[in-house]
Amino acid sequence: MTSIHTLNTRPLPGDLPADRQWMLLEWIHALGHVEDEQSLKDFLGRLQNQIPSEHMVLALGRLNAQQHMQKVEKLIDVSYPLGWLDHYMQENLASCDPILHHPMGSAPIFWKDSFSGARSPLAKRFIAEAASVGLGSGVTFSAASTRQNMACVISVTGEEITHDTQLVEMLNCLVPHLHQAMTRVTNLAPMSASAMLLSNREYDIFHWMSRGKTNWEIATILDISERTVKFHVANIIRKLNANNRTHAIVLGLQQGIRPPVAANG
């Protein structure tokens, strides 16, 4: 497993031609001057015009102990298919998105490689649904700060970009600077320690608990056993220092626990 370090810059790719070196340096310079959301959106619009990508989304979120994206705090939809992100959040598709099973801050994630390892019926259905709206091929780049328990993720679609090794290296070098810009724009308060203790599976189950689903219904939705759901519910109650299931839901919602959204969705 790739180790995750405190956020720092990544070295410039050494084999870039002069025009691409200047392009990357201009991107980094421009991000250093981003101080508000509109200027960041303007930058992302220019970035998309310079790379072969039809869809792009940028997110800043909290990490759990496994370095998986646990909660998205800021989302900038540059050009994703209309309605997809709302659908992704409402249906809690993060629970079956293979991209979110990778530790954030590691190497670029090529969607087709990640999707090919999917085994569960829910993950396979998600992949088919994403492909139907033009989200079947792409790359997700991330930078993580273990000190802040935060990660910035940018996902771009397109088959061409997956074969352009130099461009992949350029975007991977750029993402720590995107992280810094997103952090300045968002200015987040620290997340509660108890919320950070939930695993991705516990997060999924808490989401459905908060929507009034029974253990049996949650087991059916997540394609796991009811006994497994009961085990995780007990862990959630314990980790939130709650008296019972209802108390855990109230405490969790008060602490801002929500499901993650859209790494590639």
For the cut 70, the answer to whether the pLDDT of residue 247 exceeds it is: yes
- Could you give the 3-state DSSP secondary structure of residue 95? helix
Mean pLDDT of the chain: 86
- Could you give the 3-state DSSP secondary structure of residue 59? strand
Tell me what pLDDT residue 66 has.
77
List b or e across 201-228, with b for residues whose CB sees 16 or more CB atoms inside 10 angstroms: bbbbbbbbbbeebebeebbebbebeeee
For the cut 90, the answer to whether the pLDDT of residue 249 exceeds it is: no
Tell me what pLDDT residue 8 has.
58
For the cut 60, the answer to whether the pLDDT of residue 211 exceeds it is: yes
Tell me what pLDDT residue 5 has.
42
Q: Considering the chain, tell me which residue range(s) the CATH 1.10.10.10 domain(s) occupy.
A: 193-254
Tell me what pLDDT residue 2 has.
38
Is 143:6 a contact under the CB 8 Å cutoff?
no
The C-alpha atoms of residue 53 and residue 215 are separated, in whole angstroms, by 41
Range 193-254: architecture per CATH: Orthogonal Bundle (1.10)
pLDDT cut 70: percent of the chain above it: 90
pLDDT digits (tens, 9 = 90+) for 228-244: 999 999 988 888 878 88
Residue 39: Cβ-neighbour burial (10 angstroms; 0-12, 13-18, 19+):
middle
Q: Considering the chain, tell me which residue range(s) the CATH 3.30.450.80 domain(s) occupy.
A: 18-186
- Could you give the 3-state DSSP secondary structure of residue 210? helix
pLDDT digits (tens, 9 = 90+) for 104-144: 998 999 999 999 988 888 899 999 999 999 999 999 999 99
Pick the CATH number of 18-186 from 3.50.50.60, 3.40.1280.10, 3.30.450.80, 3.40.50.720: 3.30.450.80
